Amino acid sequence: MRTYKVSIVTPDGPVYSSEVEMIIAKAKSGEIGILYGHIPLVAPLQIGAVRLKNDGKTELVAVSGGIIEVRPEEVTILAQAAELPEQIDIERAEKAKERAENRLQSNHDDVDFKRAELALKRAMTRIDVYKHRS
Ligand code: ATP
């Protein structure tokens, strides 16, 4: 399958740059799969694992929301935060998950609830991606 360049960048700098055959990402409107030559597209992303496929292998990157910009021969993800499996501090993610779950169970206003839900999603995504490290 034909490959194209993917870059994942955050305010702290580049996290991933490689040739891939396919990206699977969770846009706010639903999951999207992108192959070489895709029509141009800009879409907001959900918090989730981005899957990058090449040569029969799948790499995962934890992406904490942002924007995907698709051009026919290049894709860029501008993320609020993004981590490769080996960059993830699993204890920190487990603690963040526990904190968020406790907040969701306690009395809260709507703002705290939403914040805790997003924190839980980030933590669960990191835990999921960490499990796929090689
Ligand atoms: P925490 O409550 O543990 O700070 P968070 O979800 O609020 O987690 P973010 O605001 O998404 O953290 O990220 C802040 C910075 O910390 C980013 O640079 C992100 O890549 C990094 N980061 C957050 N959690 C982890 C983790 N478990 N392992 C490695 N880096 C992390």
What integer is the mean pLDDT of 44-71?
97
- pLDDT tens digits, 114-133: 999 999 999 999 999 999 88
- Ligand 1 proximity of 59 Cβ (cutoff 6 Å): no
| H or E stretch covering 120 | helix 110-131
Domain count, the chain: 2
Same domain? 51 vs 97? no
Q: Write down the pLDDT at residue 112.
A: 84
CATH number, residue 96: 1.20.5.440
Which residue, by CA, sits nearest to atom 21 of ligand 1?
81
Same domain, 70 and 10: yes
Q: Which atom, in ligand 1's list, is nearest to the CA of 90?
A: 27
CATH number of the domain enclosing 26: 2.60.15.10
Determine whether the shortest distance from the Cβ of 115 to ligand 1 is under 6 A.
Answer: no
Q: How far apart are CA 82 and CA 5, in angstroms?
A: 17
pLDDT in tens, 9-33: 999 999 999 999 999 999 999 999 9
